[in-house]
Amino acid sequence: MATTGKRTIVVGTRQSALALTQTGQVIDQLKAICESHGLDYTFEIHKIVTKGDQIIDVTLSKVGGKGLFVKEIEQALLDGTIDLAVHSMKDMPYELPGGLINGAVPKRVDPRDCLVSKDGQDLAGLPPGAKVGTSSLRRAAQIKAYRPDLTLESVRGNIDSRIRKLETEGFDAIILATAGLKRMDWDNRITAYIPEDVCIPAVGQGALGIECREADAEVRELLALLNDEDTAYAVEAERSFLGALNGGCQVPLGAHAVLKQAQDGTRTLELSGMVGTPDGSTLLKEIQQGSDPVELGRSVAAALRARGADDILKQYGGAHGA
C-alpha cells in the first residue's frame, strides 16, 4: 500500500443529496486534517447506487434485508474500488462484514426528530386527525402514543422529495431527522423540534460512521484524527442496545445516550431506549446510567425484554433497512 508521491483516497457515496452533502463535508474535514498534520492525500468521489435507492415505492420495512443502503458500498470497499465510505450512522447495520471497520465517528449533530408542518404548528398544535407523513415504525409508535388522533401515512424518498410531498400529497406535516436538514442547510423548514420525552431518536441518529478496510493502516490513521470520542462512546451504547435487540432501523425501537460528566471528571452515559407498536398502543421505555457502553446497552435492552419487548420485535423480526 505504501506509495511514493501522494495517494488518492477514493470515497464511496450514495447519490442522494444528503449522502453527497455529508460526504463532501467529511472530505472537507479530512482535507483540513491533512493540511494541519502534513499529510499528502487527495480525495476522489465515487458514486454508488444501492438497492435501497432503487426501491423507492415500497415501505422499507416490507423490503427486508439488512443494510439496504450499504451492501453495495461495502462490496466496493472490500474489492478496493473505494477506500472509505461515509454513512449515516443510523443506516449502518449492527454487524460489519469481516475485513471492514468503522474507522471514525465524527462529532454528532442534533439527534432529535423534528416536524415540518404546512402551517407552522408543533406536534401538539396540529388539528385533530391531521395527516402526518412518516415511514418510520419507531416514529409512528411514539407519535401515535402521544397523539392517537393523528393519521400517519408512509412517505418515502430522499429528504428533498419528502418535503415536496408535504405540499403535493396533502400532508399537514412530515417528521424528519433534524440532522439531515441541518446538514443540507434546510433547517429553516423546521417548524418544531420533537422533544425526546415524546420521541426517542433512532440509534445513531445525527451521527456519521466512516467505514474503511481493517487492513488499510493509512486510512485508519487518518480517520482516527476525525473520530469524536464522546460521540463514539454514546453511539457505542446505543448500538449495543440495537445489537441486543437484534434490530435494524426499520424496527420500532430507538435509543439515545447522553454523556454526563461528573465534577471529578468521570464520564457516564444516560441511555434512553424504547420499543413500541406502530399503532401507539404499547410503548415501552427505559432509562439507565452506566459507564460501560456495551453493558449499558445490553442492560437497557434486557429491561425492555423483561417487559415484553420481544413480543413486539418478533413481529418485525426480519425487517431491516434505513
Ligand X SMILES: NCc1[nH]cc(CCC(=O)O)c1CC(=O)O
Instruction: By CB under 6 A, name the binding residues for ligand X.
Output: 88, 90-91, 159, 176-177, 179-180, 205-206, 322
Q: Is 124 exposed, middle or buried (0-12, 13-18, 19+ CB in 10 A)?
A: exposed
Q: Is 196 exposed, middle or buried (0-12, 13-18, 19+ CB in 10 A)?
A: middle
Judged by beta carbon, residue 178 or residue 299, the one nearer ligand X is: 178
CB of 88 to ligand X, least distance (A): 3
The x, y and z cell numbers of residue 194, run together, are 420533537
Q: How far is CA 286 from CA 92, 111, 175, in A?
A: 23, 18, 23
Judged by beta carbon, residue 16 or residue 299, the one nearer ligand X is: 16
The alpha carbon of 210 is separated from its chain's Cα centroid by a whole number of angstroms, namely 13
- Position of minimal CB gap to ligand X: 180
Question: In 3D, which of 286, 296, 201 has the Cα closest to residue 244?
Answer: 296
Residues 235/207, Cβ–Cβ less than 8 Å: yes
Q: How many CB atoms lie within 10 A of CB 117?
A: 23
CB of 70 to ligand X, least distance (A): 11
Residues 94/103, Cβ–Cβ less than 8 Å: no
Query: Pick the catalytic residue: 83, 91, 113, 216?
Result: 91
CA dihedral in degrees (289, 276, 130, 175; nearest 10)? 50
Judged by beta carbon, residue 177 or residue 226, the one nearer ligand X is: 177
Residues 204/89, Cβ–Cβ less than 8 Å: yes
Q: How far is CA 221 from CA 4, 37, 39, 95, in A?
A: 18, 11, 11, 22
Judged by beta carbon, residue 34 or residue 60, the one nearer ligand X is: 60
Judged by beta carbon, residue 103 or residue 206, the one nearer ligand X is: 206
Judge whether 28 counts as a catalytic residue: no
DSSP 262: -
Q: Is 114 helix (H, G, I), strand (E, B) or coil?
A: strand
Judged by beta carbon, residue 205 or residue 277, the one nearer ligand X is: 205
Judged by beta carbon, residue 166 or residue 177, the one nearer ligand X is: 177
CB of 19 to ligand X, least distance (A): 9
CB of 47 to ligand X, least distance (A): 17
CB of 16 to ligand X, least distance (A): 9
Residues 275/200, Cβ–Cβ less than 8 Å: no
CB of 20 to ligand X, least distance (A): 13
C-alpha–C-alpha distance, residues 165 and 80, integer Å: 38
DSSP 283: E
CB of 249 to ligand X, least distance (A): 6
Active site residues per annotation = 91
